[in-house]
Amino acid sequence: MSAPVITRDAALIDSIRPQLHEKLQPLFEQKNPCLPALQATCRKILELMETTSSAETFAQQIRRDPGLTCKVLQISNSIAYSPQQTISSVSHAVSWLGLDTVRSLVVAAHLVDQLSHLPNSQRTLETIIARSLLAATYAGELGAALSYPSPGQLFTGALLHSIGDLAIAYQAPDLHQALRAIPLTNASSAERAMAETRIIGVPRMTLARALASLWNLPEQVVGLFSTTTHEMPRGRWLNPSQTYQGMVLGSARLVDAMTGPGSRTAIEEAKRALFEGSGLPPGRFAEVLALATDRGRQLTRSMQLSTALLDAGNRPAEPKADPPEPNSAIAPSASARNALPIHANPLKSLQAFQESLQESKDLNKLLGTLSQALQRDVGFTRVGLALLNPHDSDQLIGRLALGVSPLAPYLQALSGSLSQDHGFFLSILKRFDPLLTEDIKSEAGDALGQAFLDTWTPTAAILAPLRVGTKPIGLIYCDHGAQSVPVLPQDYQAFMLYFTQTTLGINRLAGLM
């Protein structure tokens, strides 16, 4: 005989128990090992989100946990969260990101740490958590864009919206997979509820409501699973209640469409519902979604969860580049340097470059013009260009390399994760001015990727961040080959002439000038 369930909604549990699939019956038995972990996790999350401690007090709590400190610093130093400076301490992270954002990071870390240790279906559970983190990030970023009074409540609501899925996946992985296989179409909530009932005996949201009530979650969270509010508010959200429901449920629906068996139509319908409800201008709405997608990936990655699921439909194209123009692999001599266009006739050379930039109608053409001019006019033997993946700013993509052969390994060596492979490049992207280094290996230490070292064998070089406004979009690398030929101050001065004009051109294309 199972222990009696004491809950504020015992009638709901009693009504669904006879209908519930037998594999899920143990969810309402206190002896079930799933309950303590989930219940404790939910309680801790709510405690963290309701705390009124000061920023410094909260920073002190984080510093007591080395693993949590590492996560907070990693996420705060990603380009998505901190594009302009390096965050060196937890106190700095809290002051830069804000107490609400850091609290949300701690909440997410706690959820991952607790549930990732459950012995059954760990991969499935981690996938659900990754999906929840992305939905929570969407809700939080939309809330911030709308000046919602407590964006942290939106983050928490979207995070806890998956508790029913977590419980089902833990107790009966096969039933969870069957639920995930239900196509996401334009069918009504009632039709989806019928399909879910055929699989688990009751609608999925009804089970989630019973569990939320059992674990004494706040009414605001329990209300997300109500049969009357599960259908998203239609049209413009008119009050705080509709805004909360619309952002949380809408974010969850969008992530379901993006990561499930749904079609492009389902994704666009989910976006349209959020767009109409929020009332944000089209450009601002697209900007918020892009930022939320990027930050959601960085958050997921910082929790040591795979982002493979979240990359569906957003994988970058394979790096492409024009073949390198014929050139000498030997750095120019002093006399040859003096004969270069930028030295022989600087005014004419710079004017021709400016005209080429004016003719560039897109970013790729403009950056290609810069790369070729740095080799042709300034005399750099090798030029490498890498851009950030627009959907994931942790991923660098090698796009162009001049003066090298074969091309593929050099482009590959410029590609990879900033947080894992290219720590030195991450520091370059956070700079505003180009770096001239006499020995890049000494300058970078262990933060320079091994593939880059092995392929490019760099010594003296110039590295510069490429930006649209204050937002990093990539970097450019120049040197005189792998023969330890120095890069001279006059090389740097010539580089700056072309780099400054290119920066103006980038911002012109972006409409910032």
**Is 130 part of a structural domain of the chain?**
yes
- The CA–CA distances, whole Å, from 411 to 380, 415, 424, 444, 447 equal 18, 7, 17, 20, 19
**Is 5 part of a structural domain of the chain?**
no
Query: Are both 287 and 352 inside the same structural domain?
Result: no
Query: Are both 283 and 367 inside the same structural domain?
Result: no
Q: Give which of 438, 420, 439, 502 is closest to 465, Cα–Cα.
A: 502
Chain position carrying tokens 């390399």? 401
Q: Give every CB contact of residue 123 below 8 A, 6+ residues apart in sequence.
A: none
Query: Are both 212 and 289 inside the same structural domain?
Result: yes
The pLDDT value recorded for residue 322 is 44
**Is 321 part of a structural domain of the chain?**
no
Percentages helix, strand, coil for the chain (3-state, rounded to 5) are: 60, 10, 35
The pLDDT value recorded for residue 418 is 92
- Could you give the CA distance from residue 117 to residue 70 in angstroms, rounded to a whole number? 19
Q: How many structural domains comprise the chain?
A: 2
Polymer length of the chain? 513
Query: Are both 293 and 421 inside the same structural domain?
Result: no
DSSP character at residue 74: H
CATH number of the domain to which 339 belongs: 3.30.450.40
Return the amino acid letter for 113.
Answer: D
Query: Are both 383 and 242 inside the same structural domain?
Result: no
Query: Are both 136 and 227 inside the same structural domain?
Result: yes
The pLDDT value recorded for residue 187 is 59
Asked if residue 367 lies in contact with residue 385, where contact means CB atoms within 8 angstroms, the answer is yes
Tokens matching residue 369: 């013009």
Q: Give every CB contact of residue 443 below 8 A, 6+ residues apart in sequence.
A: 424, 435, 437
* Successive 10-residue mean pLDDT values, the chain, 513 residues: 50 85 85 66 71 77 85 87 85 85 79 68 80 90 90 83 86 88 68 88 89 82 68 81 90 86 79 94 93 88 74 44 43 59 78 88 91 92 94 92 94 93 93 92 90 93 92 94 83 92 89 65
**Is 389 part of a structural domain of the chain?**
yes
Tokens matching residue 328: 């000498």
**Per-residue pLDDT tens digits for 223-268:** 888 754 456 677 899 888 889 889 999 999 899 888 876 668 888 9
**Per-residue pLDDT tens digits for 427-458:** 999 988 999 999 999 999 889 999 999 999 99
Furthest-apart CA atoms within the chain: distance in Å: 94
Query: Are both 88 and 142 inside the same structural domain?
Result: yes
pTM of the entire predicted model:
0.79
Query: Are both 293 and 218 inside the same structural domain?
Result: yes
CATH number of the domain to which 181 belongs: 1.10.3210.10
Range of the domain at 495: 334-509
The pLDDT value recorded for residue 139 is 92
Query: Are both 302 and 390 inside the same structural domain?
Result: no
Query: Are both 210 and 259 inside the same structural domain?
Result: yes
Count other C-beta atoms under 10 Å from residue 33's C-beta.
13
Query: Are both 263 and 401 inside the same structural domain?
Result: no
Query: Are both 65 and 180 inside the same structural domain?
Result: yes
- Mark 225-262 as b/e (b = at least 16 C-beta within 10 Å): beeebbebbeeebeeeebbbbbbbbbbbbbbbbbbbeb
